[in-house]
Amino acid sequence: MALLINDDCIACGACVMECPNEAISEGDPIFVIDPERCTECVGFYDQPQCVEVCPTEAIVSDPDHKETKEELLDKKKRIHGE
């Protein structure tokens, strides 16, 4: 499933540069993840990189975007090609 930034976010922006899918952007006032682009880092890293760096543990699973690992991998291929 894609990830979601909740209101523990303090808008430090640490996550933005870590994302291999450019799925995170600055919202108003906190950052947002585009579920169409978030692959939870599947195909790139073992752990979601944004979760690793978030200082306030504000990045959690998005219950509205449940996906299997295969679906996430497909999404990665759609975004980046094979």
Partner 1 sequence: MMKEALLYQKMKDNTVRCYLCAHRCVIHDGKKGICKVRENHGGTLFTRVYGHTIAQHTDPIEKKPLYHFYPGSKAYSIATPGCNFHCRFCQNWDISQIVNENILNFEQKASPEEVVLSAKQKQCKSIAYTYTEPTIFFEYSYDIARLANEKRIQNIYVSNGYMTSEMLEMISPYLDAINVDLKAFRDVTYRRLLGSRLQPVLDSLKKIKQLGIWLEVTSLIIPGINDEETEIREMANFVAEELGKDVPWHISRYFPAYEMEDVPPTPVETLFTVREIGRDAGLNYVYIGNLGYHDDMDTKCPQCGQLLIKRSYFGIVKNTIREHHCPNCGLEIAGVGM
Contact footprint for partner 1 (CB under 8 A): 7-12, 14, 17, 29-30, 53, 55-56
Residue number, 10 or 79, with CB nearest to partner 1: 10
Residue number, 27 or 36, with CB nearest to partner 1: 27
Shortest Å, Cβ 7 to partner 1:
4
Rounded Cα distance between 56 and 14, Å, is: 11
Our separate counts of H helices and E strands in the chain read: 2, 4
- As given in the structure block, the two tokens for residue 66 are 């449940």
Shortest Å, Cβ 29 to partner 1:
4
Rounded Cα distance between 3 and 39, Å, is: 8
Residue number, 11 or 60, with CB nearest to partner 1: 11
Rounded Cα distance between 7 and 3, Å, is: 13
Shortest Å, Cβ 77 to partner 1:
28
